[in-house]
A and B are shown apart, each in its own frame.
Chain A
Amino acid sequence: MNTQLMKNAPHLELEGICRRFSNVQALDNVSLVVERGAVVCLVGHSGCGKSSLLRVIAGIEWPDRGRVVLDGLEISGSASHVEPENRNIGFMFQDYALFPHLSVTDNILFGLKRLGRRVARDRCDEIIARLGLGRLAARFPHMLSGGEQQRVALARALAPQPGIMLMDEPFSNLDRELRQDIRTETIELLRELGTTVIMVTHDPEEALSAGDTVVLMRAGRIIQSGAGAELYERPLCSYAAEFFCSFNKVRTACRRGYAETPLGRFAAPGFADGEHATVYIRPQCLRVNRDGDGDGVECTVVDCELIGEIEETSITVAALEEPLRIRSTDRSRLRKGDTARVSVAPEQVLIF
């Protein structure tokens, strides 16, 4: 095969994948193209089919319809199937799946049986050194901490030098502080190695920060995919919008292309007169003005809480039933019962 051609061709293609489990359509016509070396995050609430998709790519599950093409070769299709052990795909499991009866070294050697003994040893030592596991090499999985187990699982999956690394919630079993460091470190390493990564997560922040491409799934379908910033800034539907950000929502009716709210008029192109629309306002896009006069609508402070670096203020506006939440890194020093003025920049509002 022409190497140049291979370089340019997508690494992995999914075409119309369907998979049904008794009465649940786990995957419903999923198509996706993954470029070589990309980091793709599959994200969605539990049961959306993201893990099933990963397992289909791994070859642990079969698609009922559709095909999986790896480097131009069909590895799962209507008739043919490449067994998981022949795909050279790495997989990291949520529970790490370290073999409890094998030491760290033997766990890492497990995937290297096709290499010669000497080569396998060298490869194992190399990966152990690279991930700084030397101290743990002789230990057994139950003697390791969560972070250490994660690292061993990564080493084991990387040892056979897979072209694609699949990761199913690889960081969800870690403590909060540890998670971020290990995630950054892991993704950096995988990028350095040029490995294509497909990672499943239910954590929107993790998806946005780790993935070049974020794929949002719901009920077995892809809702939207693209760069993280694009999904965050320009969600195609309310579900996508709310998945990544918890909005203030104001229901209203449209009039002459505008949604009228107590907070102001917002352009609502494409909405008919009298049609109901919901205006989505990010908590960090609302501005509170302490002074009684100036821009904005008058409001009353219901609550003001400090959550670490940010401050969350709840306010009520006369014509709105629900209070609005405002998040800001500034210290407003507002107290319950204070009155203030709130305003919003029209271009930062979404309407569905």
Chain B
Amino acid sequence: MKTVSRRLSGLRWRIAAFAIAVFVCLPVAALILAAFEGSAGLWPHMLRYVLPATLRDTLLLLLGVGMLTTLIGTTTAWLVTAYTFPGRRFLEWGLLLPLAVPTYIIAYAYLDILHPVGSVQGVLRHLLGYSSPREFRLPDIRSMWGCILLLGLVLYPYVYLTTRSMFLTQAANLVEVSRMLGNRRHEVFWRVALPLARPAIAVGVSLALMETLNDIGASEFLGVKTLTVSIYTSWVSRSDMPGAAQISLAMLVLVIGLVLIERHARRNQRYTAAAQRPRAMTPSRLTGYRAAGAFVVCFVPIVLGFIAPAIYLCAEAYKRYRFAGLSERLLGEVVNTITISTTATALILLCGLVVAYAARTYPGRSSAIVARVSTVGYAVPGTVLALGLLVPVGAFDRMIASGAERYLGVSVGLVLLGSGTAIVLAYSARFMAIATGGIEAGFSRISPSLDHAARMLGQTSAGVFRKIHLPLSKPALVSSGLLIFVDCMKELPATLLLRPLNFETLATHLYGEAARGTYEEASIAALLIVAIGILPVVVLSRVGRTERTDGARQAGPELLNVDGRPLADKRE
């Protein structure tokens, strides 16, 4: 019989998982070092001139987006779960559609839609009897309120999702009890449902705010100088790494705050979740003007957040296509986008599998920490992550380049940065959480006695992985893979910072055109991104539907959020 040292059992899996966790932490660690390196003299300057204004704008933006997403998300979630009215079934999934529109695309679209000499304002003036923009125009969308409005319109689904699943899974008993105690439906909302949903709202809002911090396109196009924008400009236009790193640290403080809120809320959610078995409440029927009112309230966010920009993009893309066809350049960008997203998705899934499997097979404090650490990337804004990655990746590239030149006499250039590998690494660090979380959720449905049975029947731990876990967690792998792919494809800030010269993806193309103010092929690129972005929405909406059919659980794709854990905490 083969005897192994007890310490070494499963060592390879654990080492691999540990290495992945270290890699995810690398950018943040590098950033902290870079911030304190050399230029401590910059701090007073930063503190006096740069930080106060950007910090104020950022906080204002966060506050506004937080309030708007709470308002839209909670209201719509309550309407579609507590009432039934014509069109509710459509609204239930339709309210998720704005998720398919990245922040930079909605900003891009509305800049043109609401342009002072554009068609919307033109029609409006015509109706009101004005003839020139000088006499009447809407307030400029390029402002703080415009930015809040647009970000709120595409980010409210996070709140909608978490709150709705809260209402669906646990409000029923309490709502019914409070109605028996003489509260009317709308009183129930204020007195029971809303307090009950607070943790879910907090989770949703903190996710929306992380996206807000991550955003680079919308705030820049709309002229809001957030921390993200100033990090980007201080690196790209001034090549000021210490400065950029220092603003990044300020940003990380905000991020940590959000993560803490989210974690705390999630814990509370679990307590309330433990109360009783989930049961959907019976919606009460609305008719007449009440039904129409409910429909309109839910329909407006969809129109503004998805339908209007989608129609605009379709029209513009069609015009462009009629005018110039598809350029070689755009096709090249499609290939770039798909190549890089597919590579990253494969890498991320692989790493996620390793981390999740190590955590499952060798449970304990250390592997649990490794699994959690490997997911921190989801909260770190892309700009910050990319900047942090630049330091070690740049150093590595220089080392390889000088080594190759000295010993081999060939110039290899920048291996990682020049090939786009750096982008793949950044995606991996940022979206690892989706894989780890999704795969862990998938694994958790596989009874541990299956692992043990397979081991007792002569499989090694690698064999168990291949023969049991891989085939049984296929649905989880597919749905996480889809989410990761779409997120990679939409990713803008890290791609902007890390792309090689003359390397464009669909997202950076759009950014470039919007930044230059030229409206050419970007509409086609945007339309492609939105079209592919609808895929996960379809997956999410299907899950929502099965949740309705109370108790009928199926092994379909799990309802996941940004960090990959199930949005609605399911009881076992």
Contact = CB atoms under 8 A, between A and B. Distances in A.
Contacts of B450: 97, 99
A91 interface: yes
Contacts of A91: 452-453, 456
Contact of A99 (B2, B3, B9, B468): B468
A87 interface: yes
Contacts of A55: 452
B455 interface: yes
Interface stretch (B400-408, B457-465, B540-548): B457-465
Interface stretch (A30-38, A74-82, A217-225, A322-330): A74-82
Given A85-B455, A110-B457, A97 B447 contact: yes
Given A100-B472, A160-B457, A81 B5 contact: yes
A52 to B, nearest CB: 13
A232 interface: no
A126 to B, nearest CB: 17
B449 interface: yes
A237 interface: no
Contacts of A80: 3-6
Interface in B415-456: 447, 449-450, 452-456
B458 A111 contact: yes
A110 B454 contact: yes
A93 B2 contact: no
B471 interface: yes
Nearest to B468: A99
A97 B455 CA distance: 12
A157 B467 CA distance: 17
Contacts of A156: 453, 457
A156 to B, nearest CB: 7
Contacts, number: 87
A58 interface: yes
A42 interface: no
B472 A81 contact: no
Contact of B458 (A58, A75, A114): A114
A331 interface: no
B553 to A, nearest CB: 14
B456 A157 contact: yes
A81 B454 contact: no
Nearest to A87: B1
A110 B459 CA distance: 9
Contact of A81 (B6, B449, B455, B471): B6
Given A95-B447, A95-B449, A99-B450, A60 B2 contact: no
A89 interface: yes
Contacts of B455: 59-60, 83-85
Interface string B459-499: 11001000110011000000000000000000000000000
A86 B1 contact: yes
Contacts of B468: 99
B449 A113 contact: no
A73 interface: yes
A113 B455 CA distance: 12
Contacts of A111: 456-458
A60 B9 contact: no
Interface string B82-114: 000000000000000000000000000000000
B179 to A, nearest CB: 40
A333 interface: no
A85 B453 contact: no
Nearest to B471: A101
Contacts of A58: 452, 456
Contacts of A74: 3
Nearest to B3: A80
Contacts of B454: 99, 110
Interface string B126-147: 0000000000000000000000
A57 to B, nearest CB: 11
A160 B458 contact: yes
B1 A97 contact: no
Interface string A45-83: 000000000010011101000000000011100011111
B6 A82 contact: no
A78 B449 CA distance: 25
Contacts of A211: none
Which interface residue of B447, B450, B453, B471 has the most chain A CB atoms within 10 A? B453
Given A93-B449, A160-B458, A75 B5 contact: no
A151 B300 CA distance: 59
A248 interface: no
Contacts of A83: 2, 4, 9, 455, 460
Contacts of B471: 101
Nearest to B453: A97
Given A75-B1, A80-B4, A81-B9, A90 B458 contact: no
Interface in A91-149: 91, 93-95, 97, 99-101, 110-111, 113-114
B2 A82 contact: yes
A101 B467 CA distance: 10
Contacts of B453: 91, 93, 97, 99, 156
A89 B456 CA distance: 7
Given A60-B455, A95-B447, A111-B458, A82 B472 contact: no
A62 B8 CA distance: 13
A67 B341 CA distance: 51
A14 B286 CA distance: 70
A286 B4 CA distance: 59
A82 B452 contact: no
A258 B537 CA distance: 81
A79 B8 CA distance: 10
A43 B117 CA distance: 84
Contacts of B449: 93-95, 97
Given A101-B471, A101-B472, A111-B457, A81 B4 contact: yes
A97 B451 CA distance: 8
Contacts of B447: 95, 97
B368 to A, nearest CB: 13
A82 B2 CA distance: 6
A85 B4 CA distance: 12
Given A58-B456, A75-B1, 14 more contacts: A55-B452, A74-B3, A83-B4, A83-B460, A85-B460, A86-B1, A91-B452, A93-B452, A97-B450, A99-B468, A110-B454, A110-B459, A111-B456, A160-B458
Interface of B: 1-6, 9, 447, 449-450, 452-460, 463, 467-468, 471-472
6 contacts: A58-B452, A81-B9, A83-B460, A94-B449, A97-B453, A99-B454
Q: Which 4 A-B pairs have the closest CB atoms?
A: A111-B457, A97-B449, A97-B453, A91-B456
